[in-house]
A and B are shown apart, each in its own frame.
Chain A
């Protein structure tokens, strides 16, 4: 919460807790939605795919932000739940004998998204159960175990073998459709992802304004104190795992519409760590931070790709022996991401959202801001 502009004050808590506290915030949000709607007309298809990747990371890291940033339960295995969502959705589309009218109305994919969310949520609660007893490092171990058990063992060895299709399920064109709209072009994927992200962020924001959200924050700040104040910590921790898994499942189910296939390599441990890195870069305990972090990471990856490829193309003319650089772009990305996490944690531990908060306050309080620090 940033400071309000000079002269703006509220007389009731309802006003203070409103979504649009001032006309300026309302205008800003409407402007953002308009920008999101017209983005495909502004940028090319290459950047559109960047945009919906950003949206995927926002959706997937939302659960991580909930668990780490709002409930204090450190998780390093969220890709497992996203994987459960993705596989549930893909397998429901491929293998469930849907009645003809459901296929005609294009309801198979929406139904599978909801089912994916719930299945991922239950899977998440299963691995969240130890959180009733352990915390800190030991909880990290159990969530890591969730990753190892789910992705390399259950999904790669058993689920992927169903139907004898080898390692990946590919979705035939036209099967991923919502109602009359078949999701097949970059624009449609983008709009679908924007709608999902806005809905999920809205749900998350509202949850945090409710009793549940306050209980989570109390557990994050000091779980023993929260328990003595009458918060049932086991229930609320498991609820946090449930909701985080649900968001993860939705993220996984959404992303199959962009990929048109699922394979275990999209859910490796790297992605679990990537999403934790995103919230650290953006700012722990802030929904804006989640968005900033996703944009930052995806843009850095993209710019690195453009930069390294361009540089190697330029150098290739005079130094052909440098051709190996292009084949190792993914390792440059990994190294850069690792360094980015380290430097953010050392020099900018509050994340990007803190800088945004400072900027907002500067303008809100101008010209009467006093600079204490």
Chain B
């Protein structure tokens, strides 16, 4: 029972990172209808950029500050990269068939992956010196790794910031309007191009932070992009265009992944932990193709 509670708690904390990345994915889909398969690579880029900043900063400032400023720098780089990517590649694909748009994001993922490995090599890199201590924190008898705890806090803070950004700011409202009915939003003076650019920038920023946190947990290598790809089961579970769905889905997938890792690994040795969300997704799709809160699309000839 203790193991169960511990797995669930760690799962919630891991899942909050997935939820953060999934939020960026859902945003792009809601605003511009692009199904983004490059999310894993965006996550990986974020991790590597943050590592580069951190290694530079840590030479002349205390550990905590260095990490904080590295994170801020990652968010800033994510903003720039998001705007550039959208402007160069995705804007030209508005209104193209679904396969073409998806394959552009696949092309982006190849490009980014190749670039990351050309610049930073494929060996596992860790944040050294460690940002978070290796000693677990014990709260009410449950041991939780410090890195998980702070990831959870950071992901929650960012999610609150993003959600309140949609709800209360002018830009966020125009994004909501565009997602709801693009034609109506355009006729009311909302600039669709601006909204698309903003959506990509936010997705890059969210994925960058997610990648940094994931990189702090296990070290940075290609598997971070595999973890970033877990965003796909998350959004399928929650519904493609639902922000609450992304958050609930992320936490669910995090718990599911940890539970399968904890209990089933004994019976199915090997990579069951990474694959379980995808198996779950296929079975879930058969019963509820539109996820928990996704919009059901009615087709006419």
Residues of A at the B interface (CB closer than 8 Å) are 68, 74, 76, 130, 133-134, 136-138, 140-142, 144-145, 148-149, 152-153, 156-158, 222, 224-225, 228, 270, 273, 276-277, 280, 284, 328, 331-342, 345-346, 349
Contact = CB atoms under 8 A, between A and B. Distances in A.
B186 interface: no
Contact of A130 (B89, B92, B285): B285
A347 B269 CA distance: 47
B101 to A, nearest CB: 8
8 contacts: A141-B232, A276-B103, A334-B114, A335-B110, A338-B111, A342-B89, A342-B104, A345-B103
A328 B103 contact: no
B283 to A, nearest CB: 10
B113 A136 contact: no
A226 to B, nearest CB: 10
Contact of A153 (B107, B115, B271): B271
B270 A153 contact: yes
B289 interface: yes
A264 to B, nearest CB: 11
B285 A328 contact: no
* 7 nearest A-B pairs in the assembled complex, by CB-CB distance: A338-B110, A335-B114, A157-B270, A338-B111, A341-B107, A334-B114, A342-B107
Contacts of A145: 278-279, 281-282
B147 interface: no
B227 interface: no
Given A157-B270, A331-B118, A346-B89, A338 B289 contact: no
B106 interface: yes
Given A130-B286, A142-B285, A144-B232, 11 more contacts: A74-B98, A137-B35, A145-B279, A149-B278, A276-B106, A334-B114, A341-B103, A341-B106, A345-B93, A345-B96, A345-B104
From B107, B233, B278, name the one whose CB has the most chain A CB atoms within 10 angstroms: B107
B96 A277 contact: no
A335 B281 CA distance: 30
A153 B279 CA distance: 11
B117 interface: yes
A157 B107 contact: no
B113 A334 contact: yes
Contacts of A338: 106-114
B107 A277 contact: yes
Contacts of A156: 270-271
From A142, A222, A346, name the one whose CB has the most chain B CB atoms within 10 angstroms: A346
A252 to B, nearest CB: 21
Contact of A140 (B102, B114, B233, B272): B102
A130 B279 CA distance: 13
Assign chain B's interface to a size class.
35 or more
B83 to A, nearest CB: 17
Nearest to A153: B275
From A133, A145, A157, A270, name the one whose CB has the most chain B CB atoms within 10 angstroms: A145
B274 interface: yes
Contacts of A137: 35, 98, 102, 240
Contacts of B111: 334-335, 338-339, 342
A153 B282 CA distance: 15
A68 B118 CA distance: 32
Contacts, number: 134
B236 A141 contact: yes
B138 interface: no
B299 interface: yes
Contacts of B289: 133-134, 138
B61 interface: no
A341 B118 contact: no
B100 interface: yes
Given A137-B35, A224-B301, A331 B274 contact: no
A144 B235 CA distance: 14
Contact of A349 (B35, B100, B117): B100
A148 B117 contact: no
A149 B104 contact: no
A335 B41 CA distance: 12
B2 to A, nearest CB: 29
B286 A133 contact: yes
Contact of A152 (B104, B110, B271, B301): B271
A147 to B, nearest CB: 9
B99 interface: yes
A185 B71 CA distance: 55
Contacts of A76: 37, 106
A333 B113 CA distance: 11
A222 B111 CA distance: 33
A224 B268 CA distance: 42
A184 B89 CA distance: 46
Given A130-B282, A152-B271, A337-B110, A346 B93 contact: yes
Contacts of B93: 345-346
B114 A280 contact: no
A347 B92 CA distance: 9
Contact of B117 (A136, A276, A328, A346): A328
Contacts of A333: 114
Contacts of B109: 338
A148 B107 CA distance: 20
